[in-house]
Structure 1
Amino acid sequence: MSQPGPTPPPPLASDYTTYGVPQIPAGQQYGDGQYPGQFGASQQFPAPPQKSFLTTWLLSLFLGGLGVDRFYLGKIGTGIAKLLTAGGLGVWSLVDLIITLAGKQTDKNRQPLAGYRQHKVLAIVVSAVLVVGGMVIGMVSGAVAALAIQSAATSPIISAAPVTNEPAAAANSSEAPASAEATAGEDRPLLDAQTLAGTGDDIKTVDLKGLPAVVTLTCSACKGNTVLETNGAEMLLVNTVGGYTGSHLVDTSTGSPTTEFSISADAAWTLKIEDVDTIATSAGKASGHGDKVLYWDAPGTKAAITNKGAGNFLVEGFGSEIPELAVNKIGAYSGTVQLTPGFVQVKSEGDWTITAK
């Protein structure tokens, strides 16, 4: 009879678990964004959401100078730098806008912006319109402001009516003797008349004694470009082609005085310089051809003006404290405008009329 041996241990149950030891499925490990799930399955951390291209573009376009677009993208350091430098004086803001429109802008994690393909055409068109339009508006506003400042600083000094006894003034039925107010100009010194002459291009030095004057350029035989310039405030008086005869006001304000006349011509010419008191007075109606200076003595401040010339037509009045640009058109013109009584400069390439209303 055999002897009983040692009792074998009970078999291990199939659901036996070793406590305290994590069970990792074969082929999987910690790290690289993986971790064991509830049932041992591998999972990844979710990627951060993409920033919106539309939002980035709008912030760059309207608030780029404050660095708001870079703050939105999570680029805090460069956003602060952009804010403190006012968008790099505008250059940085423009560069960021271009990069965004080109689809090269990314967030702090270097992820591309969402929605670029859907909105890029609209963004490019709107940006171009706003940027170019802003530049044009800025230039126009600057020019208008400069003209306003200049007008305010250089008020006209030829406000008194001229005194004239020239026979030609009485012979013209459309011209009347100067009004009683003309005596206001008798106390001031008068500019002596002088005539300069030459052939071809030349520069003439003059002394107008700080007084306003009327100059008449005549070059009947000219065939090429004919130009009359001054170094005073009026600068370019004549720029035409062919024969020319016309008169212009100079030193009408307290701006830069004229000391030189520059003439460009291809034939013999004359330049007559006279005091403004020699200008004929027109009452009720005036007419002429080409460039001319007149004294407008009308009962009101409205005038009906016509022009039959093909080029630039300009009517500028000096009767008020600030010069009035009554008409500035190209080609034929007919209309009623405000024109304060006083000296008037007309520039035309044809026949024109001015009638009081």
Structure 2
Amino acid sequence: MKGGERVGLNIIRGAILLIGLVFGYFWGKNIQISGFAGIVIGLSMGLGMILIERKLHKVNWQALVGGFFGFILGLITANLMTYSIFHLTSDTTILSMSFRLFINALFGYLGLVVGGKKAEEIELSKIKLLFTKEGSNENVKILDTSVIIDGRIADICETGFVEGKLIIPQFILRELQHIADSSDSIKRNRGRRGLDILNKIQRNAELNIEIIEQDFPKIKEVDGKLVVLAKLIGGKILTNDYNLNKIAELQGVSVLNINQLANAVKPVVLPGEVMTVRILREGKEYAQGVAYLDDGTMVVVDNAKRYIGLDVEVAVTSVLQTTAGRMIFTKLKEDIEHNETIN
């Protein structure tokens, strides 16, 4: 809750106490008890209202609504049972009335408890049915925050490679909004970029996009919510997050990692191949230079420190594939030719 909202809420609570105090004083005078007793009663009522208001912020509304409908269903069931038992006899004795009251209380309580506990599962089952209709082979994919901010998913969608329904959970939108409102300028820019990417994706008429409201209040981490949702609807998670990737795979959830896709479609580079690169900085080893391909692949060039800022021809000696990506090791073409001449 923001500071302004908190101050406004405290003012309202203070006003409730003041109204309770004034009401209690005049009400006490009206029923001929002391003004002090009326004030105490009024303040107690005001404090009770504030306590209820504070508790309502923590209430699981889904469970509350489920409990209410369960209670009503329990009462209906109880009355149908007692009606069928006592209708023919028209028994109105105290014993029969007590039995009816007991049955109503029992079934009402059972409905309240079961409805409250099962409300979330009932709601989730509806969502699952939405995605698993008979005859529907739709491939559902859930977007996470990292893949939205990254932005490449929008370009991939435009190529037509992404099929099926794209799901954007409401809790992902809230996280993006939270990042966009951050006081840190870098985070704020990342959040706003993510929102812009979402708008771009939604404008693509060929995509089937759905924003769902389903949340999991008992799960605090967004990654955990994504995994549970994916298991529930049988969907795949689209992400760039390495940790989420591993957590999801451990729990049997399919993951589509954009970084892995990018590595898979990079042009194949073979030892001996010649290319032209620009040396941008020195490497970790003595006299090494470092360059980058257009796709971001790092190229390490032996004995190229003296060529920083210049374009040079290099020959590939080896390629190293790591979890972070691909590294290409090369030597200057002129050095190779010089060595061949000497030999």
Give yes or no for TM over 0.5: no
Larger radius of gyration: 1
Higher-strand-fraction structure: 1
Higher-helix-fraction structure: 2
Where relative contact order (Cα < 8 A, 6+ residues apart) is larger, the structure is: 1
Give the TM interval when normalised to the shorter protein: under 0.3
